[in-house]
Structure 1
Amino acid sequence: MVNFTAHLITERTPLLYAKCAYKVVVTESQDKQDLKIYTNLVGARHVQALLLFFGMCFAYFLRVNISAAIVPMTEPTPGQTYHDWDSGTKSLILSSFFWGYVAAQMPASMLAKRFGGKIVLGGATVISSFITIFHPLASNNADWEVICVLRVLVGFTQGVVYPCIHTLLAKWAPFPERGFLATSVYSGAQFGTALLLAVSGNIFDSSIGWPGIFYITGGIGLLWSVIFFIFGADTPRDTKMISKEEREYIEALTGSDQESKTMAVPWKSIFTSLPFFGLITAHCGFTWGFYTLLTEMPTYLNKVLHLDVKSNALLSALPYFVMWLLCLTVSPISDMLINRKILSVTVSRKLFNSIGQWVPMVCLIALGYMTEDEKTLAIVLLTIGVGFNAGSFCGYLVNHMDLSPNFAGPMMGITNCISNLCSICAPLVVGAIVSNEENPDEWRIVFFITAGVYLVCNSLFVIFGKGTVQPWNDKVVTNSTTTLPNDAAQTAITSVPIYGQNSKEN
């Protein structure tokens, strides 16, 4: 058996990969190569992707709940407790999650590489869910500093999410489906954000009030952890719920050594790589813009556009529903452009990342001139600006796996650590600029700064970014192309020995 990394080109719709994915096994004899193609509607890789999608969704429940609750927590409501926190205090509480989050990135990436993503991700979700359930008790019986401590702890445990999921996807997402599977999984963040913001207004208006959002999100996180421990798997070799053909297909087309837990991370090569530098800047730009809006949008809608809590909740959710839908739309388009060789991987990543950061940049500049009388247009601009962030999911977010399938997890730990310094700074910058939350002129400065970050960071990604496997991924990297006939589609197969093996190319 000889393993090949396949680049499939088909005349069918790009949604083929979502509906009827190819499973390819290439066998070699002395005189010929025979290509066997299998199809299936749902494979083990799709089950794992679904589990990770809900994992992302519920992780963002635990992350976003405080952003939604901060408004009713600080406004007098009959029958409910509230806190007289000023803008600076609220900014500290909102940013404290990221203090722990940043600190966890490198330890999380190494733990995921050493022990596998399953146990680290599942265990961390259990811990963060328990801590979340105790938020109301701490809030009502202690000072705001205690809430900050709890948010730091939640951030630290949630810091494992992206490194673990990247580690798992590097083992489960074959190249022809990488864009769709990875984007589908990570779109859970937007779906979770939108869903929680949409229902938060009803939770706040219920008899349980704002504490309910912490009880519900914590309970759901615990339930998901149990399911994930039962059905999740680190690699195709670690589950019995997979066919032999699908396992061989995945292992051949991931470009990742299934035993890479034992491979040493080439830190010097990673940190001196210009494509990796470009990736870091793109990640920083996305994170600054995304979390500025995520943490501050409810306050902006309430104080500047003067929307009530329930309307605020629904309209805060709308941009993230749009982003989720666009994630599922752009990913098959990106895969199609690459698989049909219309665009190279490098050009595709830069194009979609530019859409994901420069369209929001334009929207934020326009948003800076909106007033309460133009609230409809302001909401449209917010929706477009946040929604088009989806392009970045087919840009920088899958680029770690492009550059190094073997070290995608540690690389995600590095970029997520550095970029989430922006998550700490962004709310603090807003708190320093916006002294009067009802003053649109101060919010204009916030939007202009965010637009400038988008411009600079994506420009650097366009200049330095690459979409090809880097030499330091493994010592054995070869490339050649063999074209094999097929009645259903023309199939080009780029042969690459399984990383870490000295197999010969024929």
Structure 2
Amino acid sequence: MGILRRTYIKYSPLNLDSYLNAAGRPFFGKRHFQIFIYFLLIFIAYGIRVNLSVGIVAMTDPTASINPDVPTYNWTDKSIMLSAFFWGYILPQVGAGWLANNYGPKWFLVGAMSICSLFGLLLPSMAAMFGSKGVMASRAIQGLSQGFIFPSTHNLLAQWVPPNERSRLGTFVYAAGPFGTVVSMLVTGLISSSWYGWPLVFYLYGGAGLLWSVIFVFLGYNAPSHHPTISEEEKYYIENSLGHAEEKPKMRTPWKEILTSVPLWAIFLTQSGHNWGFWTLLTEIPIYMSNVMNFNIKSNSVLSALPYFVLWVLSFVFSTIADLLVNKGILSIGASRKLFNTIGLVVPAAALVCLGNTGSEDTDKAVTLLVIAVGINSAVFCGFNVNHMDLSPNFSGTLMGITNGTSNICGIVAPLVVQILVTDERDPNQWKIIFYMTASIYVVASLIFALFGSGEVQSWNDEEKSKGESDKIWIYKYVV
């Protein structure tokens, strides 16, 4: 039976990691199980978010299913329908981040995911009763619900993930997005062409979302201090690595400092540019592959999903390298974020320029370039995507709400711009304009983050911390 002894060390991520490794941190602990639950959340949420991108092809094609009784519709406002999700998505983000920081995200996540899943179950009925307007309404409500997910998840990660594991575990959670995209596109394509048809897709994902909500009620926790069975060693490892050994009281949100922070503006502008390209490709690739490359619904779903499968795989490669570079002292956190953010935006930009000059007959080249454009984009998971936690662990949920909510206006605008510029979906020259525009936005976003981004904890993160204690961190360990 040991005793609990307290000491402190001069803080840096490197010597903290070394000290805690020597103290014997749990290799697989409760934090990893929580991370897996968040992975499932993002996996299902993205599946719900993107299944309409492939499903809308089947919903408007009478030959998509072998069952002639599956309903289809003659809709001409497909791009508007695809953007409807973001009408609701951008609204609650800042408020959701603030609520998560102040009251804990658990029950907000449970309620949000339940509502989102319910309207997924209702979407086929809404389409039958109200046409495209019913689909838009369902998607807008789903977007409103999912507006709570990213700010709340960021808050949870800031409570559960030590800084030296941030690239790996943060990427594991957010890489569930592209993985969920892959599975959703494949499943949607296969089910839509089967006897059951496209409605089953929405029933399947709606049910999965409700099941996740039930699981999180019983197994999800806001912080290590709330977990009833976590070991003392793991609890102290997590909390000490984050700079506190006990649950912090509620803090005043420094709105002025947040809104005037140059590094946060750099994240916002970078995230806006990234979201423009990401959602342009995600929502429009199935239409591009169907009308320009002439793939049927099954081939369309497979080839549309392939780039996101590569993105998912490469995300683990980039995140492992990023943590290694930081933990070995080769790069600072800020330099690592900027390096991988640049890779994740500039390389895809070059691929999109090449794609714009690829003829419709050269399908293999087009698919390869799409894979590069989307796959290499995974490097941004180690760039701006986790940078909120670097700037302010205490207010990371609020920061994510601000940048994610406002930047996703691009998710509304981008599909509408496609609808305006691509008047003939079979004309590759019109798609060339879209690819060139997206590439330019990627490059500008990359430059902004490289020039103005930061990996340092900002002074307004903890106003009450005394200057004399700012470089110390308490370490608890058992000694026999």
**Do the aligned partners of 2:26 and 2:233 also contact (CA within 8 Å) in 1?**
no
**Over the residues paired in the alignment, what is the CA RMSD in angstroms?**
1.9
The answer to whether structure 1 residue 276 and structure 2 residue 264 are counterparts is: yes
The answer to whether structure 1 residue 7 and structure 2 residue 13 are counterparts is: yes
Shift in Å at residue 3 of structure 1? 5.7
SS at match of 1:103: coil
Matching residue of 1:390 = 378
Report the number of matched residues: 463
Matching residue of 1:49 = 35
The answer to whether structure 1 residue 192 and structure 2 residue 161 are counterparts is: no
The answer to whether structure 1 residue 338 and structure 2 residue 326 are counterparts is: yes
Scaled by the length of structure 1, what TM-score is found?
0.88
**Cα gap change, 1:94 to 1:180, in 2 (>3 Å):** same
Matching residue of 1:490 = none
Shift in Å at residue 39 of structure 1? 4.0
After superposition, residues 48-447 of structure 1 pair within 5 angstroms as: 48-77=34-63, 78-86=68-76, 89-255=77-243, 259-260=247-248, 262-447=250-435
Distance 1:256 1:393 in 2: 26
SS at match of 2:90: helix
Shift in Å at residue 176 of structure 1? 1.0
**Do the aligned partners of 1:23 and 1:245 also contact (CA within 8 Å) in 2?**
no
Output one character per residue of 1:90-130: Cα deviation in whole Å (capped at 9) or x when no partner.
11110010010001211211221232121111221011000
Output one character per residue of 1:223-259: Cα deviation in whole Å (capped at 9) or x when no partner.
1111111111100011123100100010011247864
**Do the aligned partners of 1:68 and 1:200 also contact (CA within 8 Å) in 2?**
yes
**Cα gap change, 1:479 to 1:411, in 2 (>3 Å):** farther
Distance 1:260 1:290 in 2: 36
**Cα gap change, 1:343 to 1:477, in 2 (>3 Å):** farther
**Cα gap change, 1:404 to 1:300, in 2 (>3 Å):** same
Matching residue of 2:477 = none
Kindly provide the amino acid, as one letter, of the partner of residue 55 in structure 1.
L
Distance 1:72 1:166 in 2: 35
**Do the aligned partners of 1:257 and 1:406 also contact (CA within 8 Å) in 2?**
no
Distance 2:287 2:276 in 1: 17
**Cα gap change, 1:6 to 1:346, in 2 (>3 Å):** closer
**Cα gap change, 1:333 to 1:8, in 2 (>3 Å):** same
SS at match of 2:388: helix
Distance 1:312 1:2 in 2: 59
- Unaligned stretches of 5+ residues in structure 1: 11-21, 26-34, 481-493, 499-506
**Do the aligned partners of 1:357 and 1:458 also contact (CA within 8 Å) in 2?**
yes
Scaled by the length of structure 2, what TM-score is found?
0.93
Shift in Å at residue 85 of structure 1? 1.1
Shift in Å at residue 79 of structure 1? 2.9
Kindly provide the amino acid, as one letter, of the partner of residue 394 in structure 2.
N
Kindly provide the amino acid, as one letter, of the partner of residue 85 in structure 1.
W
Output one character per residue of 1:454-490: Cα deviation in whole Å (capped at 9) or x when no partner.
011111111100000010101227699xxxxxxxxxx
Shift in Å at residue 9 of structure 1? 6.7
- Unaligned stretches of 5+ residues in structure 2: 1-5, 475-480
Distance 1:172 1:479 in 2: 26
Distance 2:448 2:244 in 1: 28
**Do the aligned partners of 2:25 and 2:237 also contact (CA within 8 Å) in 1?**
no
Distance 1:379 1:218 in 2: 31
**Do the aligned partners of 2:236 and 2:245 also contact (CA within 8 Å) in 1?**
no
**Cα gap change, 1:256 to 1:409, in 2 (>3 Å):** farther
Distance 2:273 2:59 in 1: 30
Q: Percent identity?
A: 43
**Cα gap change, 1:461 to 1:246, in 2 (>3 Å):** same
SS at match of 1:40: coil
**Cα gap change, 1:196 to 1:299, in 2 (>3 Å):** same
**Cα gap change, 1:257 to 1:37, in 2 (>3 Å):** closer
- Larger relative CO (CA 8 A, sep 6+): 1 or 2? 2
Output one character per residue of 1:388-447: Cα deviation in whole Å (capped at 9) or x when no partner.
111000000110000000000000000001110110100000000000000000000001
Distance 1:301 1:36 in 2: 53
**Cα gap change, 1:136 to 1:340, in 2 (>3 Å):** same
**Do the aligned partners of 1:194 and 1:320 also contact (CA within 8 Å) in 2?**
yes
**Do the aligned partners of 1:170 and 1:256 also contact (CA within 8 Å) in 2?**
no
**Do the aligned partners of 1:105 and 1:417 also contact (CA within 8 Å) in 2?**
yes
Kindly provide the amino acid, as one letter, of the partner of residue 72 in structure 2.
Y
Matching residue of 1:37 = 23
**Cα gap change, 1:398 to 1:255, in 2 (>3 Å):** farther
SS at match of 2:23: strand
Distance 1:251 1:437 in 2: 53
**Do the aligned partners of 1:56 and 1:186 also contact (CA within 8 Å) in 2?**
yes
Distance 1:181 1:232 in 2: 17
SS at match of 2:426: coil
